[in-house]
């Protein structure tokens, strides 16, 4: 499919993902796995905190390019060359990410700055041919594209805790700019936005599958095979929660217009999809440890990652639903709280039992949804997304 085939009939924003975006996602797939590795190499409170900061930086880089391609007509060779250049810089950043707070701090920071500078240049260049309101919005927000990663560059040259504080400052600038400065004039293609964020959820689930497999160190043991199966079942419950029934997400974006649509896209997708992705990535860290220790009690960090990751995913899904269509699903809320509350149990049971407990929680929620499905039909109450 050519890029032209993926544009709307008026030549504006894309209506679906193209091959270039999927190609671009490859480096973010790797970056997400490197976030997991950072935490696995340092499963302490500091390691978890640094992993969270790293994910914030990686996520916002991905979000920025999603908004760029969504907003402008980008069917030209110059755009494709620039995106590939950003991919190259992001690959360098991802490779250095596990050492982004230690020996690789400067390399990661400079590579990330390059990714964001390319993004800023493309935003300004594309907006030059747009209406005045959009141009003004772009010029208001572009400085944040540069100042935030510049904070991370500065962080490479100071010691902890100053280093981590500068990363926090970068995140506040990145995430605060769209909320404070507004998104007046920004366009949102509903089908494209929904499709892109579905893809990033799949990428996160893929990382959980990778960590399940990498934790299996003896496939001759039946309990290891059982743990892998349980891990996939938990992943499947995540998948069903997000994708399971026909989606009304695109329709709700279509019903919103102008700045209201842009704000909904910002809140429901750019902001609230992050904790869903973070929950899956955190679960991946715990799943690795659970499969590696199927018959021994899981470590405290692994138990925290399992309970916290599953709880965060479900509660983030509830927050997304509330912002998107003012629902607070009881089943997802209860599952998220139950997963978080399972931590004291998970710290005292083998990895196989821990995965079995979380599988049961997800299965009960899924059974509840399927049981209610005939009653709710195709109305808003039955829409998963």
Quick: pLDDT tens for 300-337: 999 999 999 999 999 999 999 999 888 888 999 999 99
User: Could you tell me the pTM of the whole model?
Assistant: 0.90
For residue 14, the model assigns a pLDDT of 60
Q: Is residue 197 part of a domain?
A: no
Least confident of 94-108, 203-217, 241-255, 274-288: 241-255
Q: Is residue 192 part of a domain?
A: no
Distance CA 323, CA 380 (A): 14
Query: Which residue do the tokens 């299965």 mark?
Result: 363
Q: Is residue 378 part of a domain?
A: yes
Q: Is residue 194 part of a domain?
A: no
Q: Return phi, psi of residue 353, to 5°.
A: -70, -35
pLDDT of 15 > 90? The answer is: no
Chain segment 242-267, per-residue pLDDT in tens: 997 656 888 889 999 888 999 999 99
Distance CA 206, CA 208 (A): 5
Are 127 and 232 members of one domain? no
Are 148 and 231 members of one domain? no
DSSP 271: I
Strand, helix or coil at 7?
strand
| C-alpha 359: how far from chain center | 22
Q: Where are the beta strands (DSSP E) in 244-298?
A: none
Full domain range(s) for residue 104: 4-187
**C-beta separation of 72 from 61 below 8 A:** no
Within 8 A by CB and 6+ apart from 26, the residues are 87
Q: Which of 82, 72, 81, 76 is nearest to 8 (CA)?
A: 72
Q: Is residue 195 part of a domain?
A: no
Q: Token pair of 308, please?
A: 């916290």
Are 218 and 148 members of one domain? no
Are 11 and 150 members of one domain? yes
Are 266 and 175 members of one domain? no
Least confident of 147-161, 177-191, 295-309: 177-191
For residue 1, the model assigns a pLDDT of 34
pLDDT of 32 > 70? The answer is: yes
Q: Which of 216, 231, 215, 318 is nearest to 268 (CA)?
A: 318
Higher pLDDT, 48 or 244: 48
What number is the average pLDDT over the span 118-124?
Answer: 92
Domain tally for the chain? 2
pLDDT of 232 > 90? The answer is: yes
What's the pLDDT band for 142 if we cut at 50, 70, 90? Answer: very high
Query: Which residue do the tokens 């329709």 mark?
Result: 251
pLDDT of 8 > 90? The answer is: no
Are 298 and 339 members of one domain? yes
What's the pLDDT band for 2 if we cut at 50, 70, 90? Answer: very low
């Amino acid at each position: 499919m050519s890029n032209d085939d993926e544009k709307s009939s008026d030549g504006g924003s894309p209506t679906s993902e193209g091959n270039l975006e999927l190609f671009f996602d490859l480096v973010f797939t790797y970056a997400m796995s490197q976030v997991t590795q950072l935490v696995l190499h340092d499963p302490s409170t500091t390691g978890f905190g640094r992993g969270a900061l790293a994910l914030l930086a990686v996520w916002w880089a991905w979000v920025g390019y999603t908004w760029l391609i969504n907003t402008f007509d980008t069917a030209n060779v110059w755009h494709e060359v620039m995106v590939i250049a950003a991919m190259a810089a992001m690959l360098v950043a991802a490779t250095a990410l596990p050492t982004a707070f230690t020996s690789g701090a400067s390399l990661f920071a400079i590579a990330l700055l390059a990714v964001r500078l390319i993004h800023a240049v493309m935003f300004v260049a594309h907006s030059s041919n747009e209406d005045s309101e959009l141009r003004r919005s772009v010029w208001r927000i572009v400085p944040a594209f540069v100042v935030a990663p510049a904070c991370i560059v500065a962080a490479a040259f100071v010691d902890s805790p100053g280093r981590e504080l500068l990363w926090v400052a970068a995140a506040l600038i990145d995430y605060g700019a769209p909320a404070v400065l507004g998104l007046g004039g920004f366009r949102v293609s509903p089908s494209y936005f929904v499709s892109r964020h579905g893809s990033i959820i799949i990428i996160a689930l893929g990382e959980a599958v990778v960590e399940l497999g990498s934790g299996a160190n003896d496939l001759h043991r039946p309990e290891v095979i059982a743990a892998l199966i349980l891990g996939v079942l938990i992943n499947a419950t995540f998948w069903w929660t997000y994708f399971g029934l026909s989606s009304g997400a695109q329709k709700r974006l279509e019903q919103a217009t102008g700045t209201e649509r842009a704000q909904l896209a910002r809140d429901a997708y750019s902001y609230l999809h992050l904790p869903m992705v973070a929950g899956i990535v955190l679960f991946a860290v715990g799943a690795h440890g659970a499969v590696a220790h199927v018959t021994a009690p899981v470590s405290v960090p692994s138990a925290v990652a399992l309970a916290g990751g599953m709880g965060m995913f479900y509660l983030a899904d509830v927050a997304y639903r509330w912002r998107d269509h003012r629902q607070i699903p009881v089943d997802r809320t209860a599952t998220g709280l139950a997963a978080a509350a399972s931590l004291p149990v998970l710290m005292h049971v083998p990895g196989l039992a821990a995965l079995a407990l979380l599988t049961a929680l997800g299965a009960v929620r899924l059974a509840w949804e399927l049981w209610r499905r005939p009653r709710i039909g195709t109305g808003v109450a039955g829409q998963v997304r």
